[in-house]
C-alpha cells in the first residue's frame, strides 16, 4: 500500500478566526486524529500540501482542525475543499471498509446489476449513501448493514438485498410525470 493516500476528512469551510477549518470526517477509526499528526492536503487544484495538526475538537457533526502555520482566515481558506489524507491505512475491524475502496465497486441487487459506485455521500442520514450509476441514470442507495449481503473490495463487488421499490424512488421521471410537474 505504499504511495497510496487515503482520505480521512474533507475540509468544508473555515471555522473561527485563528486559521481553523471545519471538516467532514471520513473515518470511523477511534483516535485517528492526534496533535502532531502529519497529513497530506490534496487541494482542489490537484496539488499536495503537507500540514501538521496542532489541535482539534468536535463541533456540530464535524471536526474543527487547527494546523501549524495556519493562523488566519485567509490561511484557512486555502484548505477549503481539500481532502485530508494519510499514506498509511489503519487496520480496520472485520466488516468495515474504506470509502476509497468502495468507489468503483459494481453493485448488485440479488440477480440484477445496478451499476458502479461513483461516490459515497455522508450526512444524508444514519447510513452513508452510495451514488451508483449505470451510465444512463444514477441511484442513491443507503450503505446500510441491513441491506448488505457481501462486500468484496478485492473483486470490487457489493451484493445487496434492497427493499422492493427503493430503486424506483430514484428513477428518472417519465415524459408523463414531467408534463404533470410542469402543469403545477
Render pLDDT for 108-161 as a digit per residue (tens, 0 to 9): 998 899 999 998 887 767 788 889 998 888 899 999 889 999 998 889 999 999
The model carries a pTM of 0.54
Domains and CATH numbers, the chain: 6-86 (2.40.30.60), 99-169 (2.30.30.240)
Strand, coil or helix: what is 182? helix
Show the beta-strand stretches assigned E in the chain.
Answer: 6-15, 20-25, 38-42, 48-59, 62-67, 83-86, 106-109, 112-121, 129-133, 138-142, 148-152, 157-160
Question: How far out from the chain centre does Cα 173 lie?
Answer: 27
pLDDT mean across residues, the chain = 86
Distance CA 54, CA 68 (A): 6
DSSP state of 125: S
Amino acid at each position: 500500500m505504499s504511495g497510496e493516500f487515503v482520505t480521512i476528512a474533507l475540509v468544508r469551510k473555515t471555522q473561527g478566526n485563528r486559521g481553523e477549518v471545519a471538516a467532514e470526517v471520513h473515518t470511523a477509526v477511534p483516535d485517528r486524529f492526534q496533535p502532531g499528526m502529519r497529513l497530506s492536503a490534496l487541494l482542489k487544484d490537484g496539488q499536495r500540501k503537507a500540514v501538521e495538526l496542532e489541535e482539534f475538537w468536535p463541533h456540530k457533526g464535524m471536526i474543527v482542525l487547527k494546523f501549524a502555520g495556519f493562523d488566519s482566515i485567509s490561511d484557512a481558506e486555502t484548505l477549503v475543499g481539500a481532502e485530508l489524507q494519510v499514506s498509511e491505512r489503519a487496520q480496520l475491524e472485520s466488516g468495515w471498509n474504506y470509502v476509497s475502496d468502495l468507489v468503483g465497486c459494481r453493485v448488485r441487487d440479488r440477480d440484477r446489476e445496478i451499476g458502479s459506485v461513483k461516490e459515497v455521500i455522508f450526512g444524508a442520514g444514519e447510513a452513508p449513501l452510495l451514488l451508483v450509476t449505470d451510465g444512463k441514470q444514477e441511484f442513491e442507495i443507503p450503505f446500510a448493514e441491513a441491506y448488505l449481503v457481501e462486500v468484496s473490495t478485492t473483486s470490487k463487488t457489493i451484493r445487496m438485498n434492497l427493499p422492493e421499490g427503493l430503486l424506483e424512488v430514484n428513477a428518472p421521471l417519465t415524459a408523463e410525470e414531467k408534463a404533470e410537474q410542469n402543469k403545477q
